[in-house]
Amino acid sequence: MDEETRQVLFSKYETGRMLGKGTFAKVYYAKHLVTGESVAIKVMNKDQVKKQGLMDQIQREISVMHLVRHPNVVQLKEVMATKSKIFFVMEYVRGGELFAKVARGRLKEDSARKYFQQLISAVDFCHSRGVSHRDLKPENLLLDENEDLKVSDFGLSALPEQLWNDGLLHTQCGTPAYVAPEVLRKKGYDGARADLWSCGVILFVLLAGFLPFQDENLMKMYRKIFKAEFNCPPWVSAEGRRLISKLLVADPARRITIPAIMRVPWFRKGLLSQPIENNREEEEESGGEGGNNNSSENSPSNSIPGSTKISSPKFFNAFEFISSMSSGFDLSSLFETKRRRGSIFTSRSSASAIMARIEGFAKGINFRVGKVKDFKMSLVGPCEGRKGRLSVMAEVFEVAPEVAIVEFTKSSGDTLEYAKLCEEDARPALKDIVWTWQGDTVCNGNGTVNGYVEDHPIQSQSLM
């Protein structure tokens, strides 16, 4: 794709000028042909990604960006692929990097505080989802047309499954001037605490106009980082210096936490009376099938009434089945707003047997089971979580006479708690009725194939 040539991708997006270029990717401005919405599309060469062994990293970045949907995080809208390329369609952020603003000189304290408040809001949300960014710096903080901050570039981020047996991360990564001392020591580190060190460096840069740890000799710079040896210039207020000194603490166990940051008077100045919340995710998840709009379907009760007679479950479209079970890179279905994201498995058991097993599983973990309608039931958690009580819808769809799809979707509650329910509770409890889980290899005599042809993702294939 040449930066001067306009192209239409997947009959959806018209590409324009190049916005940036990295080692393995180019980013282009584009417009949605129907809505006119501006987006940024990151294009990666599959062969280069595979040669460098980065395929797992790309898949992890997709998972992370889908997980951390927050007003101060750049939104990943969809992911597409051809035989040779991978396309990330992302929110277009017009204002450029915060680095460009800082490069012109230090910011006024009120401006620096606003960006720091938004940074902490985004980082707090990432950490609540088990995500450590690991490369926070002004170059990865973008500004939109309203001068609001957006965290970007989750290519080095980490998820809980990357923790070693000691519960720590061990991969050295990040940008030297912003990296925490414990990351440099190669003895394992807490990703969330390391992120807060980087936030401290960013706050220093915003208020001072230069880096706290800098030296032409890299080893001398590292020694300053190990000792947390820095000096705030006189123009930084006493309150700002105090907060920086609590963030840039060499011992991560003594470093200030996000709840403590949010109680600091300097941080709270000018903050909205209601803290910034992740309303975007809740809005997206409140609509569509399986939502909370029908109180009769979602009101919890102690048992499933046996009087409702249903002839057969809903039919599940074959294309949806292929898309959800595909291990390829056409992950558009993850970002569709018409169907809420969920966990899916296939089964060769009868619909009534599946429903009975799900009911037994739910009661076994003290979830309340709601009413059934068209092979659908609601499961409500026993206690309050981070975002209220977890509520999950379970629905059975018919694919073929001897094949059923079971889909769990979150109606309310915390996304991370929902993911743990699916992975740690449902998977082992229901394994005897499961044929395959979403994303696992489908083994059958018919040889289901997933793949792509150049510039045209396969749209549908026969199931039988």
Pinpoint the residues of the chain covered by CATH 3.30.200.20: 8-91
Active-site entry in 135, 153, 190, 330: 135
- The CATH code of domain 285-457 reads 3.30.310.80
Please give the sequence-ordered ranges of beta strands (E in DSSP) within 190-330, or none if there are none: 300-301, 314-315
* Protein fold of 8-91: Phosphorylase Kinase; domain 1 (3.30.200)
Q: Could you give the 3-state DSSP secondary structure of residue 26?
A: strand
pLDDT at 314: 57
Rg over alpha carbons for the chain, rounded to the nearest Å, is 24
Q: Please state the separation of Cα 128 from the chain's center in Å.
A: 11
On whether the pTM is more than 0.85, the answer is: no
CA dist 28 and 92 (Å) reads 10
Give yes or no: 153 in active site: no
Q: State how far the Cα of 69 lies from the Cα of 276, in Å rounded to an integer.
A: 13
Q: What pLDDT was estimated at residue 74?
A: 95
The boundaries of every CATH 3.30.310.80 domain in the chain are: 285-457
183 touches 175 (CB < 8 A): no
Q: How far apart are the first and last CA of the chain?
A: 38
> Helix, strand or coil for residue 315?
strand
Facing residues of 30 across strands?
15, 39
Q: What is the C-alpha to C-alpha distance for residues 435 and 9, in angstroms, rounded to an integer?
A: 36
131's CB contacts (< 8 A; 6+ apart) are: 64, 67, 68, 154, 157, 158, 159
Q: Where are the alpha helices (DSSP H) in 382-441?
A: 415-420, 427-429
Considering the chain, tell me which residue range(s) the CATH 1.10.510.10 domain(s) occupy. Answer: 98-268
Task: Name the CATH superfamily, with its identifier, for domain 98-268.
Answer: Transferase(Phosphotransferase) domain 1 (1.10.510.10)
Contact (CB, 8 A) for 378 and 371: yes
In terms of C-beta density within 10 A (0-12 exposed, 13-18 middle, 19 or more buried), how is residue 366 classed?
exposed
Give yes or no for a contact between 355 and 396, defined as CB atoms under 8 angstroms apart. Answer: yes
Please give the pLDDT value at position 1: 56
According to the model, what pLDDT value does residue 16 have?
93
pLDDT in tens, the chain (464 residues): 554 557 898 889 999 999 888 777 899 999 999 999 999 999 999 888 888 888 888 888 888 888 899 999 999 999 888 888 999 999 999 988 999 999 988 999 999 999 999 999 999 999 998 999 999 999 999 999 999 999 999 989 998 888 998 899 999 888 999 999 999 998 899 999 999 999 999 999 999 999 999 888 888 999 999 999 999 999 999 999 999 999 999 999 999 999 999 999 999 998 864 444 444 444 344 333 333 333 333 333 333 333 334 455 655 444 344 444 443 334 343 333 333 445 888 888 888 888 889 999 999 999 999 876 668 888 999 988 877 889 898 888 876 666 788 888 888 888 888 888 888 888 889 988 887 776 554 443 333 333 322 333 322 222 22
